[in-house]
Amino acid sequence: MSYTAVDLFCGVGGLTHGLHQAGIHVAAGIDADPSCKFAYETNTPNSRFIEKKIEDVTVKELRDLYPEGNPRVLVGCAPCQPYSSYNRTESKENQWDPLRRFAGLIEELKPDVVSMENVTRLKHFRNGELLEEFLETLRSNNYYIHQQDVDCAQYNIPQLRKRLVILASRLGEIKLPPPIVTSTENYSTVASIIKELPKISAGQADPNDKLHYASRLSDLNMRRMKASKAGGTWHDWPEELQAACHKKHSGRFYSSVYGRMEWTKPAPTITTQCYGFGNGRFGHPEQDRAISLREAALLQTFPPDYQFIAEDEELNISATSRHIGNAVPVALGRVIGEAIVEHLNEHIGK
């Protein structure tokens, strides 16, 4: 039996592509951002992109996407910015909350299996009330729940990315497989993923891959880049290069910006602003530039030939970086998909 999923908040298809690799057919991905459509449908051509806000999605629409008699799998990564540690303010109480709508659709549809992925800080957002509300919806609808803080590096993803993964099933107990890598010495490294890519300079692109583009650097930031060491911080710079905010007492502790990655370690969390040297530890380990968009995509475990824009389309750096940073790493999507397939095979049959 083949298994069918629908992916809410699908973006450009990181989770969908991972589920596809695991053998799950994703009938459709739903997202409010129309700029995700090309990448979503081009890279997983049997999956349809539906442009719609989550509050406008109906249960009838969802039901119609599943084949008759086929187990229903509903997955999604609700936008995590309100819950992220990169966001210094919490959402207003009256702001529309996509996680609540996700829970409401689960309650109405009652899919056989649910997966939700988000930042670990969701556990503490509003004192944990929002997550507990989501979990209570699952409990009250007779789901077995598996909740796990995932260190992506332990699943052979070359990135120090911590995520909260929830798997839930009405059929029985379900869980993720144990970590693949248990020793930090065996983590997948930046070098293993991007070291062989063609060299480029800041403000230039590889003529054979326009996504392999690195942002321009101002004269000041180029001087800072040249003074930066792999794995170091802005504390390594001479004083005349240090930003005024860093010299304040409160700024002395923000050492995770203006840094270079290290060849022998995983990358830091790839964010929506990963194209900028000053936005995190996004400097190339040895070339005087920030990482390229292609390098960011590879560190997010997108396949090397994943197409984010059409050949005749002009590259929008900030939009493409947002698409890459917001995505569920494809390899994590595959781990989630393999857990679901194993579970459904056990309870329903191959």
Selection from 118, 173, 109 nearest residue 144 by Cα: 173
Cβ(26)–Cβ(72) below 8 Å: no
Torsion, CA 296, CA 299, CA 300, CA 304, rounded to 10: 80
Contact 300, 159 (CB under 8 A): yes
Rounded Cα distance, 333 and 19, in Å: 6
List Cβ neighbours of 284 (8 Å cut-off, separation of 6 or more): 214, 260, 261, 290, 291, 295
Q: Which amino acid, 6?
A: V
Which residues are tagged catalytic? 80
Contact by Cβ (8 Å): 279, 273: yes
Minimal CA–CA distance to 24: which of 66, 56, 87?
66
β pairing state of 162-169 and 113-119: antiparallel
φ/ψ (deg, to 5) at 290:
-80, 165
Phi-psi region of 150 (alpha: psi -120 to 50; beta: other; left: phi over 0): beta
Task: Look up residue 42 and give its two tokens.
Answer: 């081009």
Task: Give φ, ψ of 146 to 5 degrees.
Answer: -120, 125
